[in-house]
Amino acid sequence: MLQYGFAAVYVNPCDVAYAKSLLGDRAAVGTVIGFPQGATTTRTKIFEGLEAIDNGATELDIVINVSRLKDGDTD
């Protein structure tokens, strides 16, 4: 990853701390919250995001609730 000059690497939430320990500040570590369907509650997503940040993530992608979106709920 570093040999190609990538700015960030995305890993599973359980691997954020490990990736950060390997990369240090040479590249950002990111993860996806609520993958794959975004069906968890907002509170759960907040917890997951905060835990990822505590573990060293500086990039978060948060998945929208796909089922609710398909039902027309855009709130």
Q: What is the mean pLDDT of each run of 10 residues along the chain (75 residues)?
A: 87 97 95 94 96 98 94 90
pLDDT of residue 25: 92
pLDDT of residue 47: 97
Q: Rounded to an integer, what is the distance from CA 29 to the centroid of its chain?
A: 9
- Residue 10 · residue 35 · CB < 8 Å: no
- Say which DSSP state 19 is in: H
Enter the pTM of the model: 0.87
Helix (H, G, I), strand (E, B) or coil at 42: helix
Q: 19 burial class (0-12, 13-18, 19+ CB within 10 angstroms)?
A: buried
Could you tell me which residues are beta bridge partners of residue 9? 29
Structure tokens at 46: 């907040």
pLDDT of residue 20: 97
pLDDT of residue 75: 82
